[in-house]
Amino acid sequence: MPNTGAEHIVTAYSEELLSLAQSIAEMGGLVEVAVENGTRALIKLDRELADVTIIADQRIDDMQRRIDEMAVSMIARRQPMASDLRAIITAIHVAGDLERIGDMAKQLARRSLKIEGINLQPTFYNGVKNMTALVLRQVKDALDAYGNRDAAAAIEVCNHDDEVDAMHTSLFRELLTYMMEDPRNITTCTHLLFCAKNLERVGDHATNIAERAYYLATGKQLTPEVQELQRQQIKI
């Protein structure tokens, strides 16, 4: 993923950087599928899919270890500089965030195994589905911003995190209502509260990835001040 259009004199170095970027993209794909499966297992109470999701998380963990090892090896052997150094350091961070998203998906699957049948309003399930769709879009957009080194797209992702938070608050209120209506719902609704929180955390990790993408593209940290400045420019 050369950003200056120039190739490394040592071709193996270019190949290693490319392989690192490909590994992140591959890990991103696995994580997206995991979140999707975790939510589906929860909504449909599909035990088989839940088991598959839990087992698949091991592969995501393995990939994170592999990316860490590749990065450490490149730092030791190649003494990376400038955008190469940023690419390697951000790969370590992004792999960490992706691994955490994988854990969130695993949590969704695990909790689905604990939930007995419960009749909630269809609006609730729609809310969970919509929130999942939104956080998955956030993860995908963040990974695209990372892959394309697109600072503007990275800021967009960060700005959309408020929507995820709003959805989480809405689900939280809805679940409280169910619990107040019938105390027998409390156990299940508590599990579902944690699930909503897990999805909200996925959104936070997507924001982290976007912040890394911004740093990779510009060499500067994406601070709240930069985000605010960008918002004001859009308003103007």
Partner 1 sequence: MDLLANKTKPPVTKPLNAPLDPLDMLEPNIRLTARDVTVHYGAKQALHGISIDIPDRAVTAFIGPSGCGKSTFLRCINRMNDTIEGAKVGGRIELDGQDIYAPDLDVVELRARVGMVFQKPNPFPKSIYDNVAYGPRIHGLARSKADLDEIVVSSLRKAGLFEEVKDRLNEPGTGLSGGQQQRLCIARAIAVGPEVILMDEPCSALDPIATAIIEELIDELRTNYTIVIVTHSMQQAARVSQKTAFFHLGNLIEQGDTEEIFTNPVNKQTQDYIMGRIG
149 or 205, CB closer to partner 1? 149
The answer to the question of residue 73 lying near partner 1 (CB under 8 A) is no
The answer to the question of residue 220 lying near partner 1 (CB under 8 A) is yes
Residues 6+ apart with CB under 8 A from 38: 50, 53, 104, 105, 106, 107, 108, 109, 112
The answer to the question of residue 1 lying near partner 1 (CB under 8 A) is no
| Contact (Cβ atoms closer than 8 angstroms) between residue 177 and residue 109 | no
DSSP 5: S
| Closest separation in Å from C-beta 151 to partner 1 | 13
The answer to the question of residue 77 lying near partner 1 (CB under 8 A) is no
Kindly write down the DSSP assignment for every residue of 97-144, as one continuous string.
HHHHHHHHHHHHHHHHHHPPP----HHHHHHHHHHHHHHHHHHHHHHH
Among 23, 53, 64, 83, binds partner 1 (CB under 8 A): 83
| Closest separation in Å from C-beta 226 to partner 1 | 15
| Closest separation in Å from C-beta 190 to partner 1 | 47
The answer to the question of residue 2 lying near partner 1 (CB under 8 A) is yes
| Contact (Cβ atoms closer than 8 angstroms) between residue 68 and residue 95 | yes
| Interface positions, 84-113, toward partner 1 (CB under 8 A) | 84-86
Q: Which residue do the tokens 């698949």 mark? A: 56
79 or 119, CB closer to partner 1? 79
Query: How far apart (Å, rounded) are the C-alpha atoms in residues 21 and 147?
Result: 7
73 or 190, CB closer to partner 1? 73
48 or 225, CB closer to partner 1? 225
